[in-house]
Amino acid sequence: MILPFRPSLEEIEAAGERLSGYMGRTPLIRLDLGLPDRQIFLKLETLSPIGAFKLRPALNALLSRNPEALENGVATISSGNMAYGMAWAANRLGIPMAAYMYEGAPQTKIDGVRRLGGEVRFISMETWWQYIIGAARPQAPELLINPVTDQAVLCGNGTIGLEIVEDLPEIDVLFTPYGGGGMTCGVASAVKSLRPNAKVFAVEDENAAPVTAALAAGRIVEIETRPSFIKSIGGPSLVPQLWPVVRELIDGAVTLSLEQVTEAMRLLFAKGKIVAEGAGAASFAAALASEHATGNVVCVISGGNIDAAAYAQVLAGQIPKP
C-alpha cells in the first residue's frame, strides 16, 4: 500500500519529465579515498542552477499546478534553499513570489531570493516551525506551498533518487541530510521502489536529531535543540505527516558532531574542490563515520549555499558560531 505522503514511482517519473525542460541532471561522481570496504559516490546537487536540490521540488510544485491557482503568486516557508529555489522557479515562470524566512537564515540565500525578485517576509523561528508542520498558516493572498509535505514537492525531491539508481543500479547504501524530511522521504520513495534492498539512512546534527529520537521511541517525540551553524537540518520534532513514510522507508539515522561535519566539508574541498554547506556535507560525514557505510555508498550533497565568512572559518579549521 502506498502511504498518502509517499509519492509513487510514476509520479516521480512524471516530475522528472517536467523538470527536464528547465534543468539538467546533476552528476554522480565517485570520490576515491582508498577505503577497502566502501566506494563513496557523491550526488552533487550543489551543481543545480541555485546550488541546491530545492530547485527540483520548487519547479515541480509550480509546473504541476493549474495556472489559475497561481494568479495571485506563490509563497513558501523556508530556512533558505527552498525560498531560493521557489524564487528561481517563479522568476522563470513569471509568477510573483514571497518567502517566509526566520531571522538568522543564511544571508547568501536571502540575497538570492531578492536578486530573483522574491519578497522576503521575516518571522520568528517558532512561527516558522508552526507553518512547516501545518499547525498555523500565514494570511496571504498567494498560493502557499508547504516545503516539506506538498505532494509535488515530494515528487520533485524523488527525482534525485531516480537519477541515482539510473547512474548506479548497484547502490547499497544511501545517506541523505534530514531537515523537514521532504527530501529524504522523496528520494527514499524512488530508491526503494527501484532497489528495495538498498538501505536509506537519515543524517542529523547532534544539536537537533528528531529522527534518531523518534526511531528509538517508536513515535514522534519533542526534543530540545541547541543552536548550530547548520541551518537546514534538524528541528524540534518530526513533521507528523511524514512519520509513516519514515517508519516504512528509513532504515535508521546517523547523528554527527559539528566536528565531523566541518571535517567532511574540508575534505570535500581538499579532495574534490566541492563547496558544501553544513547540511550538504553531513551525508558525506556519515559515509566516513557510520558502521552502515559499506559497499556502494551514495551521499546526497544537498547544497553549497554557505556564507563566505562561515566557509572561510571552516576551511581554517574552526566551527562557525550559530
Could you tell me if 62 and 207 lie in one domain? no
Do 164 and 93 lie in one domain? The reply is no
Co-location of 94 and 209 in the same domain: no
User: Is 32 contained in some domain?
Assistant: yes
Are 281 and 180 within one domain?
yes
User: Has residue 127 been placed in a domain?
Assistant: yes
Strand order in the sheet with 252-256: 28-31, 38-44, 295-301, 173-177, 199-205, 252-256
> Please, are residues 297 and 172 in contact by the beta-carbon 8 Å criterion?
yes
Domain boundary among the residues 117, 145, 173 is at: 145
- pLDDT band with cut points at 50, 70 and 90 for residue 254: very high
Mean pLDDT value across residues 222-242: 89
pLDDT reported for residue 274 = 98
Q: Count of domains in the chain?
A: 2
- pLDDT band for 134, please (50, 70, 90 cuts): confident
Q: Does residue 302 contact residue 186 with C-beta atoms inside 8 Å?
A: no
214 and 306 inside one domain: yes
The pLDDT of residue 104: 79
Among the residue ranges 1-5, 126-130, 304-308, the one predicted with the least confidence is: 1-5
pLDDT digits (tens, 9 = 90+) for 87-120: 999 999 999 999 999 887 888 889 999 999 999 9
Q: Residue 20's pLDDT band (boundaries 50, 70, 90)?
A: very high
Tell me: do 112 and 241 sit in the same domain.
no
Q: Across-strand partners of 101?
A: 122
Among the three residues 96, 117, 145, which one is the final residue of a domain in this structure?
A: 145
Q: Is the pLDDT of residue 66 over 60?
A: yes
Same domain, yes or no: 159 and 290: yes
**Dihedral, CA of residue 42, residue 226, residue 224 and residue 174, to nearest 10:** 0
How sure is the predictor about 13, in pLDDT bands with cuts at 50, 70 and 90? very high
Q: What is the mean pLDDT of residues 173-195?
A: 96
Q: Do 142 and 74 touch, CB atoms closer than 8 A?
A: yes
Based on the fold, state whether residues 123 and 205 are members of the same structural domain: no
> Cα–Cα distance between 2 and 127 in angstroms, integer?
31
Give me the pLDDT at residue 4, please: 67
What does the pLDDT average to over 215-244? 91
Confidence band (pLDDT; 50, 70, 90) for 2?
low
**What's the average model confidence in pLDDT over 22-36?**
96
- Per DSSP, 256 falls in state E
Lowest-confidence segment of 70-79, 160-169, 185-194, 254-263 by average pLDDT: 70-79
For residue 298, report the phi and psi dihedrals to the nearest 5 degrees.
-110, 135
Q: Are 66 and 156 contained in the same domain? A: no
Average pLDDT, the chain: 94
> Is residue 40 located within the same domain as residue 161?
yes
Interaxial angle between packed helices 81-93 and 55-63, expressed in degrees from 0 to 180 and rounded to the nearest 10: 40
Q: Please spell the DSSP secondary structure of 50-76, one letter per residue.
A: TSBTTHHHHHHHHHTS-GGGGTT-EEE
**Inside any domain, residue 105:** yes
78 in any annotated domain = yes
Indicate the pLDDT class of residue 159, thresholds 50, 70 and 90: very high
Q: Note whether 289 and 311 are same-domain residues.
A: yes
- Rounded mean pLDDT of 125-141? 88
**Residue-range definition of the domain harbouring residue 18:** 9-52+151-315
Q: Is residue 1 part of a domain?
A: no
Tens digits of per-residue pLDDT, 303-322?
A: 999 999 999 999 999 999 98
Identify whether residues 294 and 199 lie together within a single domain: yes
The mean pLDDT of 181-186, rounded to a whole number, is 96
Of the candidates 110, 145, 180, which is a domain's last residue?
A: 145
1 has pLDDT over 80: no
Q: What is the pLDDT of residue 261?
A: 98
Q: Check which CATH number belongs to the domain holding 77 and give it.
A: 3.40.50.1100
pLDDT of residue 235: 83
pLDDT of residue 232: 82
On the question of pLDDT at 169 being above 80, the answer is yes
CB contact at 8 A, 213 and 202: no
- Higher confidence at residue 84 or residue 231? 84
